[in-house]
Structure 1
């Protein structure tokens, strides 16, 4: 009787019909390689011991575990590609005030006795709250030991999970703020200007505004239609800034990933909207933000990131990710991870334009 096989039974590895392991060898890396020829010879010698014509093998010996663990993908978190993040204050602060100033006044013809035209400045304070949020990690000793047998680092996995969950929370606050709090996002800040509508294309007596319809009913000119809608959005932005911006400025165009492919569909002359945009707006950058599609409606979001040394808007956070102390319990450990955000801080609404319904 093979004592190794008997010891395997003692630790719970057994079969009602098997009498021994198949022959195998183990290389320097710990990989198990079956020796089929040696197994056949052993079977021929031990045929009298086999009561049923079969050869069983423990599943663990014929199961390959891939050492690369694949992470499940979530929606991309691209808000910080649109606006910069800035740390403000501390997580203990309850609210924040951000100053915005406007210059007023003018000039008149000089006179020793005239003082009727002045220069002045108006200051407005934007108040925003601070939302502190958390998640908790827990590590069980048996759980950690079991994961270790699969060569998994359970603690680092859970820490990566916490970092992802906090990043998703920051991204969500950047977009929508916090309901019921004085914290807003880039899509719902009350100081944003109203959205505009796309150009209307008439084909066969019917009017179309979405890019999907324009492609379906006027495919030869789709590149032109996409370009014209984006140019209309630029025209809205330029008109609100009194000549302070031009087409050579740094421009960011936010677009949903679900319609971004329209930028690269050529017209009948082989020109795409992207090619025409790069030709006329050389410093334009496209940022794909999935949340710009909501309820089947697509929105374009255009901004000038900076003008005269002042950022148009920014995302303010008090803490990105802070780990608390590890608390030991009877046979497990817990650790709290927190973050804090003030949401979207809009300083110059005129430098942002939006178009809904493309």
Structure 2
């Protein structure tokens, strides 16, 4: 005799922990009633065997859009940024005045001794560049079905590409124009070389070949000494300074000696007003082939209230008219830049080969 579910239910619950709320009985041995049955006393399926549903019904699309990360654009943050002119400005003149004079021994009737000033104008040329975004009606509808605001993403791509180009010009200028970069302005004083250090393979100069913070600290002091000589007495230990390091060398700031004193500790104690900035393009690995040597810079932030350096642009972003066609659209966007302007090139010292 076949047992009923009501008889089995208590044992299933107590012995096996199987609790089936709402179940009243087993399915009869003959099966359940189905659609048209080609056989007698049988109820087979009239569709192909299946144990699931189409994957689209159980697929989740995250509303948060994950963007691939790119090398940061830090030139403006490191050297400052300012607007100069506008998008129709092709050249710029920056006046530089030098105060001169000569004294003479005093005499009631003497006309000797004179004061004067000399003016020069430094010329720069701007560089303007553009990019297009284009999208179609069906394209944005299809991407919308994938939970993506495709026009916005393309506009973000255009802005990102323009800013990457601007950052590149800020650092390396434009060949053939009087538009120079922070790292290669021809008016900057010649770079000095790192000091010799003891490494595992003998005498070395690169920071990656040693772990001694005092040895690396010697390079910082040597660069400060070079800057001090260039500034002809203007520089003091309390002068606000900026130290620009290649991002791929920033781990050297964590080098520690036996007393757990790090390189960063040594720098902050001796030069309390020095700010440390990192720049990917100052190194080899992260510069995308624009550099063949790791370099660092130390510069004076301001001299008698005047900034010593700034990056400059004509316009950050100009969005031109949207052009509409039968079923697609496109739009031009543009920017303009002057590169980096060193108002006081002698206020920057560079070391190559760290």
TM-score normalised by L of structure 2: 0.83
Tell me the residue number matched to 2:59: 63
Matches within 5 A, 1:71-110: 71-110=67-106
Q: 1:154 to 1:246 in 2, by over 3 A?
A: same
Aligned to 1:275: 265
C-alpha deviations, 1:253-311, integer Å up to 9, x for none? 11111110101110122111111111111111111101111355211111111110111
SS at match of 1:230: helix
Structure having the higher Rg: 2
1:208 counterpart = 2:204: yes
Alpha carbons 1:136, 1:336 under 8 Å: kept = yes
TM-score, normalized by length of structure 1? Answer: 0.82
Shift of 1:205: 9.6
**Which SS does the other structure have where 2:135 is aligned?**
strand
Q: In the alignment, what sits opposite 1:25?
A: none
RMSD of Structure 2 on Structure 1 (CA): 2.2
Q: Which residue, 157, 161, 168 being the options, matches 1:165?
A: 161
2:198–2:210 CA contact under 8 A, matched in 1 = no
User: SS state of the match for residue 156, structure 2?
Assistant: helix
Distance 1:121 1:169, change over 3 A: same
- Quote the offset at 1:342 in angstroms: 1.2
Alpha-carbon deviations, 1:145-165, whole Å to 9, x = none?
A: 112222221121111111111
The offset of 1:238, in angstroms, is: 1.2
1:14-53 counterparts in 2 under 5 A?
48-49=44-45, 52-53=48-49
- Quick one: structure 1 residues 136 and 110, their matched pair in 2 at CA, closer, same or farther if it must change by over 3 Å? same
The residue correspondences of 1:186-205 to structure 2 (distance < 5 A) are: 186-202=182-198
Structure 2 portions without partners, runs of 5+: 1-22, 35-42, 285-290
Is the contact between residue 200 and residue 209 of structure 2 (CA under 8 Å) also seen in structure 1?
Answer: no
How much does 1:87 deviate?
0.9
2: distance between equivalents of 1:237 and 1:102? Answer: 21
Q: Is it true that 1:174 corresponds to 2:160 in the alignment?
A: no
Identify the residue that residue 234 of structure 1 maps to in structure 2. 224
Partner of 2:250: 260
- Between the two proteins, the alignment pairs up a number of residues equal to 312
